[in-house]
Every structure is written in C-alpha cells, then in structure tokens.
Amino acid sequence: MVPTLRQRASPITAALASSALPPLLQRLFANRGITTPEETNLALQGLLPPHTLKGAREAAELLADAIEGEARVVIVGDFDADGATSSALAVTVLRQMGLQEVSFLVPNRFEFGYGLSPEIVALAAEREPDLIVTVDNGISSHAGVVTARGLGISVLITDHHLPGAELPMADVIVNPNQPGCGFPSKCLAGVGVMFYVLTALRAELRHRDWFKTTGIEPPNLGDVLDLVALGTVADVVPLDRNNRILVAAGLSRIRAGRARPGIDALLEVAGREADDLVSTDLGFVLGPRLNAAGRLDDMAIGVECLLAQSAFEARPKAQQLEDLNRERRDIEAGMQEEALAQLDSLEIGGTALSFGLCVYNPAFHQGVVGIVAARLRERYHRPVIVFADAGQGELKGSGRSIDGVHIRDVLDHVAATHPGLIAKFGGHAMAAGLSLAAGDLPKFEKAFDTAVAVALGHLPPEATLETDGELASDDLTLAAAQAIAEAGPWGQHFPLPLFEGSFALHSQRLLKEKHLKLSLGAAGKVFDAIAFNIDRGQWPNDKASRVRAVYQLDINTYRGDRRLQLLVRHLWPEP
C-alpha cells in the first residue's frame, strides 16, 4: 500500500529560534513538540524524582526489610526484552545491596503463558521465598497474588501495563498507570519502573545507615543504565523526555565501552561496534536477539547472558541467542509467506479485505505470531491478529493495530458483545494478545471485523507517512547526519527524522537479491543510497529515470571511512 505523505510542520518557538541549536535541529525538535532548548538537555539531573511514583517508597521499605531480614526473594519476569532486562536489573542491584538469596524465574510462554499465574506461584514456592517481586507484569495477576498470599508469600508488583477495573491484592504495587499515581511520565517501561524502585531502595537503605553498618559500597545506579536503555527501547514505549534521559545515559555508557559483558557479547555476535551504536540499534539489533529466547525457547538464557560477569561467561549465551534469532527469522519468513498468500488470494479473488484481519494456519509458531502480525499491519495498514495452535483445542493470537484503533478496547468490545467468545485477553492500544477456542475462530473473525469497522467509522483506513519535509542541498551532508545522530535518542513518539525529495536515478543494482543499492542525484550532487528488503516486483526498474524517495540521513562506516548515505524507506518512480 502506497502511503500518503504528510509533512510535520510545527512552528519554531522564539526560545528555540534564539538558541544555539542549528536551524535544522530547531526544525526537527519543533516538529516533535519541543518548545525550549532546556527540553533537549538530557542530563541525569533532569530525571523525575522517585518520590512522585506511587508505591515506590513503600516498595523500598518492603525490600529494605527483606535485605535486613535476610529474606529469600524470587523475581518473576516477563519473556520479552523488557522482562529480561528488568529481571537482570533487579537481581544485579539487590545482590549489590546485600541481599544474599535472590533468584529469578521467567515463565515459559508455551507452558505457563504470561504473568504471575497460580502455576508460576507454585513453581516459585518450591524455592520457599518470603517475597515475590514481579517485573514488567503482575498488574492483572489477581489469581496469582491470591495464591501467593495464601501460601504466606508477600508480593511486590512492579509493572507499567494498564490496570483493569480492580487491582490485585498485592502488598505493594508500583505502576505509573495505576489510579492515583501522580508520576508525570506514564511511559516508563518495566525496566524503568524497577530502576525507580531500586533508586528509592538505595535512599531507604542510606536512611537506615545500612551501608555504613555493613560496609557495603552503595551501588552506582548509573552502572545499570545500559540495561534500562535496552529494555526501554526494545519495549517500544514512547520516548518522552524522562525516557530519553534514561536511554541517552545508557547509550553513552555502551558507546564508551562500559557496558556489561552480556551486552558486549550480543554486539559481538551481531557484528556491531559499540562506539557508533544508536538508539534504534537497541530495538532492531539487540532487542530481537533477546526476544528470540522467549519466542522459541526459554528467556532464562537471555537473563543469564545479561547477568554474566565476564566475556567468557557471556559469549556462549550470546551465541545461543544469535542462533535462536536466526531460527526465528527463518520461521517468520515462512509464516509471512503463508499469511501473505492467504490475504493476497482474497484480493485476487475480488474479495474486499476486512477492516480487521485475522490469519491462522495450524503450522504457525506461537512465539512468532506477533512479529508476523506487525509485518502484515505494515503491508495492509489494518489491524491484524495472527493465530497459532496452542493445543487442547485452543488458539493463541497476537494482534497489532494502527493509529486510531485501540486494539485492546476493540477486544474488550468483542468480549462484552459476545460473552464467552474470548477466553482471555490483554494488551494496550497498539498490541494485544488473546486466546479462544479453535472452533470459535470464524465467529471471532466476524466480531473483530465489525468492532474494527465501528472504530474506523466504516471508512477504509488510509496509510499516511509523516516526514520532516524536504532538505536543502546544504543539509544533505555528513555533518548534518552526525548532528541528527547526536541529537537522539530517537524512537517511539520521538521519531527518527524522515525526509522526502525528488532525485535523478543514476544507477541501481541488487545486493544479496533483496536490497537495492542506488546512486541518486540532486542539486548537482550525487549521493549513495540503499533501500533494504526492496519489493522485487517493483525494483530494479529499468524504466525509471527519476524517483521520489522518503529517506533518513545515515552514516556508512567502512574500514574507518565515514560517508553520507541516504537510507531509503520508501521509493516510487516519477514521470
């Protein structure tokens, strides 16, 4: 689907215009809602204070009591990159603060599903814990909390997902999205919530003179910001200023060669250098390798990699993650091909695509349905749910949505109008998961399509792509690309700058049968460009002499030589 281009065009405030920022950055920041130069200051001193996060003080007291009382603590995480980094963060810092018996447990998605279920509590109970701490989950785990409390186990929930109408009966809940929480940033990832809890805990232990009494050195929490940055970007939470501060500090640490051995090992197996890492690399290079463990095997591999104390210990774990990620890519490619064939056959047969798309094949892999749903969403610009067989007559689905359609609310509407159709569901605006009986899939498809149609006002969705407009030839430079890179981190709700322009097409050739290497001309200059994973049905195009391109300014580094490169995201031939 060819998107409609729409230019961001926010006015530059007087405060920005009078600042020392280059005009290009003034324009880019204004387009992202920045009004003052102070908002671009990402020093750690600008972080929101922990005391404004509801429950953080009580959580600190609970954990401090556990440390002083030599309690046994089990961290229960989620099986994605946010959950892995949150688990590693909690275990690392609690050990540094003097907690001797702290371990982690990550549910296997194929055996237990998501969250603090009664089954996971039973598994944790084998370790005889005094306290269970959830990270990146728990806000909807009512039955699990009841089970734990019934066994005499205290529960601290740290989470960032949206709560339901009622909260679990945990001892303490820390979640910026819970009712009554005045924390200004509602966008913290699970790893960010845990970072704030540990910051509050360090203050509580100082207040109790714990470090002086024991001789333990208070941990420098700046040392764990590599984990916070990785989990925050990989979880695709909005990068408001508070998250940008956390990510910028973590990136700076990684680039300076001060990352933990596990992250260094992941970079090594990915063939990436730390010193030129950018925020998007955390989401597209490191994140998928961690997530592959939770999708195909056991996320414990990922947590153990992040907890490794040496390169010798970390490298085998990182290689396992690399191998799993390669396997995941192969599985994904096959599933995507089958899903595209299903949907393309409808279009070829003259059947109009539904407002909400559902795709199922008995051979689909449970752990990869979310990625395939995202790929289909991008292609068809419709909310998509991809289902896999979960056994015992049950299907599990993962959905991805588009702007204007809150997919969790859509599922809530389906559940309300068709009681009993959905066994369980959860999620947020852009992503959700659910399970239902296999025999109910046709009924669900109709109900989902109807609910999405209502959300869209019965009008087919139009794909739009926001750009920052055209670049003057003076800004098509390596220096401009470097300035943009340094002005990050860029990410969700603070998007990496995209530009559009017309170019003469001087040359085009395929690389590895799927990427298009280009030479583009404008304003008397010639630029190297590349378009990854090009549509082979459209390109190479021998008839095209001019193109319209949507692109990023990128830096191509080869053997120490740095050159400007246009990273083409969309490409169309022009008359």
Mean pLDDT value across residues 392-406? 92
Return the pLDDT at 462: 83
As a whole number of angstroms, the distance between CA 247 and CA 191 comes to 11
Digit-coded pLDDT (tens) for 136-191:
999 989 999 999 999 999 999 999 988 888 999 999 999 999 999 999 999 999 99
Question: Which two structure tokens, joined as six digits, stand for 355?
Answer: 């407002």
pLDDT of residue 34: 95
CA distance 92 to 483: 35
Give me the pLDDT at residue 297, please. 84
pLDDT (0 to 100) of residue 294: 84
DSSP state of 469: -
> Under a CB-based contact definition with an 8 Å cutoff, are residues 338 and 267 in contact?
no
Report DSSP letters for 320-372, one per residue. HHHHHHHHHHHHHHHHHHHHHHHHHHHHHTTPPPPSSEEEE-TT--GGGHHHH
Specify the DSSP element, H or E, that contains 26: helix 23-30
Sheet with 154-158, edge to edge strand ranges: 101-105, 72-76, 131-135, 154-158, 172-174
**What is the distance between the alpha carbons of residues 82 and 79, in angstroms, rounded to a whole number?**
8
CA distance 42 to 488: 10
d(CA 377, CA 339): 12
Q: Fill in the DSSP letter of residue 141.
A: -
Stated length of the chain: 575
Q: Minimal CA–CA distance to 93: which of 102, 81, 84?
A: 102
Spacing of C-alpha 462 from chain mean position: 25
pTM: 0.91
Average pLDDT score over residue span 282-296:
91
CA 72 to chain centre: 31
The per-residue pLDDT for 350 is: 53
As annotated, the residues of the chain forming the CATH 2.40.50.460 domain(s) are 4-8+465-574
What span, in angstroms and rounded, lies between the C-alpha atoms of 115 and 425?
Answer: 12
**Residue 348 banded pLDDT, cuts 50, 70, 90:** low
At the top level of CATH, which class does the domain 352-462 belong to? alpha beta
Measure Cα distances from 344 to 131, 339, 348, 350 in Å. 52, 8, 6, 10
- In this structure, how many other beta carbons lie within 10 angstroms of the beta carbon of residue 257? 9
The span from the CA of 29 to the CA of 261, in Å, is 34
pLDDT mean over 323-340: 92
Residue 510, number of CB atoms within 10 A of its CB: 13
In the chain, the percentage of residues whose pLDDT exceeds 70 is 98
Q: What is the pLDDT of residue 519?
A: 95
CATH number for domain 45-321, candidates 3.40.50.2300, 3.90.1640.30, 3.90.226.10, 3.40.1350.10: 3.90.1640.30
Per-residue pLDDT band at 198 (split at 50, 70, 90): very high
pLDDT band at 347 (very low <50, low <70, confident <90, very high): low
Q: How many Å apart are CA 329 and CA 321, to the nearest integer?
A: 12
Comma-separated ranges of CATH 3.10.310.30 domains in the chain: 352-462
How high is the pLDDT of residue 404?
Answer: 87
Residues 507-532, mean pLDDT to the nearest whole number:
92
Domain 4-8+465-574 has CATH 3.40.50.300: no
Distances (CA, A) of 41 to 44, 249, 289, 497: 9, 12, 31, 19
In this prediction, residue 575 carries a pLDDT of: 83
> What average pLDDT is seen over the chain?
92
| pLDDT, tens digit (0-9, with 9 covering 90-100), for 30-39 | 999 999 999 9
Look at residue 269 and tell me whether its pLDDT is greater than 70.
yes
pLDDT at 463: 82
Nearest Cα neighbor of 339 from 378, 285, 294 is: 378
Q: Are 550 and 569 in contact (CB under 8 A)?
A: yes
The per-residue pLDDT for range 86-113, each reduced to its tens digit, is: 999 999 999 999 999 999 999 877 777 7
Three-class DSSP category at 133 = strand
